[in-house]
Amino acid sequence: MEDVKQSNIKQEIPDESDQSPGRTVPVNFSGQAGEFFGIWIVNILLSIVTLGIYSAWAKVRTHQYFYSNTEIDGHRFNYLATPMQILKGRILALILFIAYYVLTSYFPVAGAIAIVVMLFLSPWLINQGMRFHLRMTQYRNVRFSFEGSYGGALAHFILLPIMSVFTLYLAFPWVLKKIDEYLYSNIRYGDLPLQTKLSGSQYYLAALIVFVVSGMFGVVAMTVLSVSMGIGAMDPETTAVADPSPFAMAAVFAVYIVMIGLVTGIYESYIRNHIFANSKFDDVAEFESELSPFGYGMLHVTNALAIVFSLGLAYPWTKVRKSKYLADATKVTVLPGAEQVVDDKQDGNSAFGEEASQLFDMDIALT
């Protein structure tokens, strides 16, 4: 009898090895370059014919295409903004931009005041842009949102960068870390906050690698120019140092494109991998990014070269290619609480902040 009781007790105790905390699934992107090229070329032609008015519809169509072709665990993303929301936001942003341009160009005193006003208005524009962009994003019938405050945006996007100047920009990687923490820690999925804790050392490591790679390419560019000028100076008919040849200038331009592409890809890959590894929706989802710094850098390089040599026609192919590359490098661990997230963000929002932030070159993109 005692043996029977012990066996019953053993059966009642759950085996912890059978309790999986969640299932890890890939991110799938099913978009095709040919499909998007058709959407893209129609968007451009109609935007030209309508003097830019159709660009609001073009933006919605583009976002809907990429969202609907991105799938996690059998569910696709939705982009909920309407063209009229975008158009109204662009009209208001354009009026603001024209007023700013007129004041700064023709009324010096008023223009100086406008610059100060824009400086303090920019944190609000950044928050509004993030708020609209995330609120128009939906997954599993639950919307995202952004809860950043004006004071937080002012501190992270204005005050901290200004303070880094007094450190000769040695504190700038730390500032970038603080900005990313502000952006990601204020993201909400339904009623659930994204928990993000980043390390400054990773930002300094990424900055150091970018600095070294940039320096190496700078040496190559200077060597090409020096050799070109030196060969020209060897001409016995001339006494002055020759100007760089067109071939040398083209070579330097090519080196510049490769450098920009590589350092951009290297930095973004290190930071994206770090952010994904240190961000989670508690009991809902954890993230993993395995971008190769060199591979992602070369993707930037080849995409840039394809756009240049195709006179822009390869843009749809590069955008689809990049989206697929990012999706293939990403995994999500779906946790049991994913079924219990409550959507409390059903109200709409103006697109003015997003469009204004883009118009004034303050567009903030998440990694």
For 32, the token pair is: 């095709």
For 131, the token pair is: 């708020």
CA–CA separation, 157 vs 176, rounded Å?
A: 9
At position 96, the amino acid (one-letter code) is: L
DSSP state of 244: P
CA–CA separation, 3 vs 197, rounded Å?
A: 51
CA–CA separation, 238 vs 226, rounded Å?
A: 17
| Burial class for 22, CB neighbours closer than 10 Å (0-12, 13-18, 19+) | middle
- For residue 260, what pLDDT is reported? 93
CA–CA separation, 357 vs 126, rounded Å?
A: 6
Task: Cite the DSSP H helix spans in the chain.
Answer: 2-12, 33-49, 55-68, 83-106, 108-135, 150-154, 160-165, 172-185, 200-233, 246-277, 293-309, 315-328, 352-359
What average pLDDT does this structure show over 65-78? 96
The pTM score is 0.84
| Burial class for 143, CB neighbours closer than 10 Å (0-12, 13-18, 19+) | buried
331-336-339-345 Cα dihedral, nearest 10 degrees: -70
Q: Which residues contact 307 (CB under 8 A, 6 or more apart)?
A: 314, 315, 318
What average pLDDT does this structure show over 124-137? 90
pLDDT tens digits along 202-231: 999 999 999 999 999 888 878 877 776 665
- pLDDT over 70 percentage in the chain: 83
DSSP string, 290-315: ---HHHHHHHHHHHHHHHHHTTTTTH
pLDDT tens digits along 17-70: 444 478 899 999 999 999 999 999 999 999 999 999 999 999 999 999 999 999
- For residue 364, what pLDDT is reported? 58
Task: Please tell me the least confidently modeled range out of 28-32, 125-129, 187-191, 345-349.
Answer: 345-349
Of residues 190, 195, 174, the one with CA closest to residue 139: 190
